[in-house]
Amino acid sequence: MTNLKKRLLKKMRNAINDFDMIKSWETILLWVSGGKDSMLLGYLLSELRKTMKEKFEIKAVYIFKEFLIDCDIRFEEKRKYYEDILKIPFEKININLPEDSKLNDGVWKSCTWCAYARRISMMKLCQKYKATKICLGHHMDDIVVTTFMNMMQGRKLKIMPPVNKMRSWDITFIRPLSYIREKDILKLVKQKEIPYSSCNCPVWNDTMRNKIKKQIIWENEKNFPLYTENIFWAFIKDFKEKYEKIGYSM
């Protein structure tokens, strides 16, 4: 096992333990986009599961986006990796929104609408698989950037939470990669030759998310190497103080 793999597994295990993300013998629905984050997440979860006495079940799902921006992820390549190498069943689901859904008008315009439409689909799939957890591949950089977006656009300090239990559904969103930097994800993906597809979304370059990452995060890290990490832990401290007593229900 390489030093990088050991370090990232430890960070993921710490995040899972800190927020009690995964319990024994439960079914977790893993949302796979085909990008580096969700592909590495599957790899690390499969490695973690090998070391646990009490197992948990993982089902990977890719939502075929007839109603969203359809990105070519080379699905069969990803399915073969998940099922043959990781031993995680991987299903491709085609779910269409109702014709009168307001989301139909917005999914081509922003990441928020697109992600929201997929999230609704995943929540419906939980009933089929009797799952109570939806596992997402967001990492530390994603959390910091999203929190900045909420401050700049929404005028509120609202973090993208490592764990979020829905109040109206018996479903919890978990982000086991919360303590891991994006640059380390890319390093390990290349080191382990894990297949992934780069984002080819036509609106990506013009999004607020991408602008914050390049013009704020990356620029400040040139002068302050720990810029992202320090801001992240400040956000996490605030999040724990506000939500730990109510079980991270938001």
Q: Where are the domains of the chain?
A: 3-246
For 3-246, give the CATH class. Answer: alpha beta
Tokens for 179, please give them. Answer: 């303590």
In this prediction, residue 54 carries a pLDDT of: 75
Measured distance CA(228)–CA(30) in Å, rounded = 26
At residue 72, the pLDDT reads: 66
Kindly state the tokens that stand for 204.
């990506």
Q: Give residue 79's identity as a one-letter amino acid code.
A: R
**Cβ–Cβ contacts within 10 Å for residue 218, how many?**
13
Q: Is 4 helix (H, G, I), strand (E, B) or coil?
A: helix
Tokens of 139: 């990492």
b vs e for 143-156, b when ≥16 Cβ sit within 10 Å of the residue's Cβ? bbbbbbbeeeeeee
Across 18-48, b (16+ Cβ under 10 Å) vs e yields: ebebbeeeeebbbbbbbbbbbbbbbbbbeeb
Nearest to 78 by CA among 68, 88, 70: 88
| pTM exceeds 0.85, yes or no | yes
The mean pLDDT values, 10 residues at a time, for the chain of 250 residues are: 93 96 92 94 95 88 67 86 97 71 55 71 85 95 95 91 89 97 97 88 71 94 96 96 88
pLDDT given at position 73? 80
- Angle formed at CA 183 by CA 211 and CA 164, multiple of 5 degrees: 75
Q: Which run of H or E residues covers position 106?
A: none
Question: Strand locations in the chain, DSSP E?
Answer: 27-31, 57-64, 90-94, 133-135, 163-165, 172-174
Instruction: Say which residues have a Cβ less than 8 Å from residue 15's Cβ, sequence separation at least 6.
Output: 21, 162, 175, 176, 177, 178, 179
Residue 101 has a pLDDT of 60
Instruction: Tell me what pLDDT residue 204 has.
Output: 60
Compute the distance between CA of residue 148 and CA of residue 183 in angstroms, rounded to an integer: 19
In this predicted structure, what is the pLDDT of residue 169? 81
Rounded CA gap, 109 and 203, in Å?
Answer: 7
pLDDT at residue 122 in the model: 86
Angle between helices 3-18 and 36-51 (to 10 degrees): 80
Please tell me the predicted confidence (pLDDT) of residue 125. Answer: 87
